[in-house]
Amino acid sequence: MSIEEEVHGIVAAQRAFFKTGKTLDVKFRIAQLKALKASVLTHEADMVDALHKDLGRHSVEAFFCDVGSVILEINEAIRGVKRWSRTEVHFSGLVCFPSIFTRVYKMPYGVSLIISPFNFPYVLSLGVLTAAIAGGNTAVIKASSKAPNCTKVLMDIVADAFPPEYITVLGGGHDVADCCLNERFDKIFYTGSTNVGKHVLECASKNLTPVALELGGETGNWCIVRKDADIRDAAHKIAFFKIVNSGQVCVNINQVAVAREIADEFVSAVKEEIIRQIGERSCVNPEYACLISDSAYKKCAEEAELYRERIVFGGEGCPETRKYSPTIIYPVDINEPIVMHELFCPLLPIVPFDDDKIDELLETIESREHGLSLYIFTKNVRWAKRAMSHLQFGGGCINEILLQLVVKGAPFNGTGHSGMGAYHGEWGFREFTHPSTVLVGSRHFNLRLREHPYEGSTINKYKFFKFMEK
């Protein structure tokens, strides 16, 4: 059987299962979410081990960023799905009289496709799956071929909890992904690069399939450190974030714009923080993750070499372990190539700016493709709130990093080149359902307002409808 035939058979089986109506029952969905959680807990040790094999992740980082996050997402859905899926009842308005009430049903799309990346192979597959199940859909997960050990465990987790006609996982490379995209799904959720996101959207357009995209952003995520910032606090948090998963995080800091007045002090503080957290020789530290592949390592090392004379910390790596040290490049102009694309590695360009020209900096950032995240460090929180409320980006923090992702009930999303759609908690439920508005008419007391003739009636229909404006 060819891969095309296999994928087609899976989609057909899931479509037949969806048509049975079993997934419409909220009790069924809750039972499936509980089954998913039980399977995750059963395979927890395997998940942590696979993350170490594929990405060199320490067990604490593996649980914090992947396993634990999945469990929290499932728990929120179990507690909330009954309320989220409740039919809404609206007053229809006088113009609809005698039909007084209108209902809005939260309907699942049907058969969904989830394409997940390598960097967080569980939270970006099972976390999205949680939303799909809560919404009443079936799902095919196309897992990343770059993290084979994680994909194997992911297959075991899903196979132990669900029949393939309900939920299944596919491995393989781009050929399998393209086979999936050639099928007619009812909903597609893709996480990955902007370029591939464009390809996914193009394929989905052939069937007008609704799509959610979580992308890194074409010109990367900015962090701004103003001259009044707490330098030690900012350096501590930024250093930690850049270390996490060796920089392979879609919401990670791509470059830091630092007020020129404090730039040297800030760079020194970041150096000290990196050394304090993982030592001077990070490449031999077992807590430091590796890059996902030889090609990813080579790309990182080659870009670092282009800026070798401005590397003020790091710039060392080990090809055998695929570990490249957190590397500070300073100073970097805002228009240089390294700050014009997503890095997805432990390189950290530092861009000095004049603090009294902060508005010019914001204008430049806004003129580029929208990032998935924005981080601002300053004591002037009022200014920071105003700045963030006027810029386009996915989400972010003031005087903090990363934690916008784990806020209960808040959406995770991108905009423009960093994505479309949103999920986490109820937002994920909404992403995998469509609201269906249904008004039930009456056979009695129907007014002759909504019929011809408009003229010559005993009621001035124009004046009546104009009255509705008030």
Structure confidence by residue, pLDDT tens digits, 354-376: 999 999 999 999 999 999 999 99
Q: Which residues of the chain have pLDDT under 50?
A: none
Claim to verify: residue 257 and residue 333 sit in the same structural domain: yes
Rg (CA), the chain: 26
Q: What pLDDT, on the 0 to 100 scale, is given for residue 96?
A: 75
Q: What pLDDT, on the 0 to 100 scale, is given for residue 295?
A: 97
Number of domains in the chain: 2
Q: Which of 131, 190, 39, 65 is nearest to 425 (CA)?
A: 131
Supply the residues annotated as catalytic.
214, 250
Q: What pLDDT, on the 0 to 100 scale, is given for residue 133?
A: 98
Claim to verify: residue 23 and residue 47 sit in the same structural domain: yes
CATH number at residue 76: 3.40.605.10
Q: What pLDDT, on the 0 to 100 scale, is given for residue 143?
A: 97
Q: Flag whether 209 is in a domain.
A: yes
Quick check: 77 and 176 in contact, CB under 8 A?
Answer: no
Q: What tokens were used for 352?
A: 């000095």
Q: Flag whether 439 is in a domain.
A: no
Q: What pLDDT, on the 0 to 100 scale, is given for residue 218?
A: 81
Task: Return phi, psi of residue 415, to 5°.
Answer: -145, 140
Distance CA 109, CA 430 (A): 11
Q: Which of 420, 373, 433, 423 is nearest to 398 (CA)?
A: 373
Quick check: 340 and 219 in contact, CB under 8 A?
Answer: yes
Residues ≥6 apart with Cβ < 8 Å to 146: 54, 118, 292, 293
- The parent domain of residue 265 ranges over 222-368+373-409
Claim to verify: residue 173 and residue 226 sit in the same structural domain: no
Q: pLDDT tens digit string along 179-234?
A: 999 999 999 999 999 999 999 999 999 999 999 999 988 888 999 999 999 999 99
For the packed helices 148-161 and 126-134, what is the interaxial angle rounded to 10 degrees?
30
Q: Which residue do the tokens 């992308």 mark?
A: 215
Q: What pLDDT, on the 0 to 100 scale, is given for residue 144?
A: 96
Q: What pLDDT, on the 0 to 100 scale, is given for residue 461?
A: 54
Q: What pLDDT, on the 0 to 100 scale, is given for residue 406?
A: 86
Q: What pLDDT, on the 0 to 100 scale, is given for residue 456?
A: 61
Distance CA 44, CA 365 (A): 41
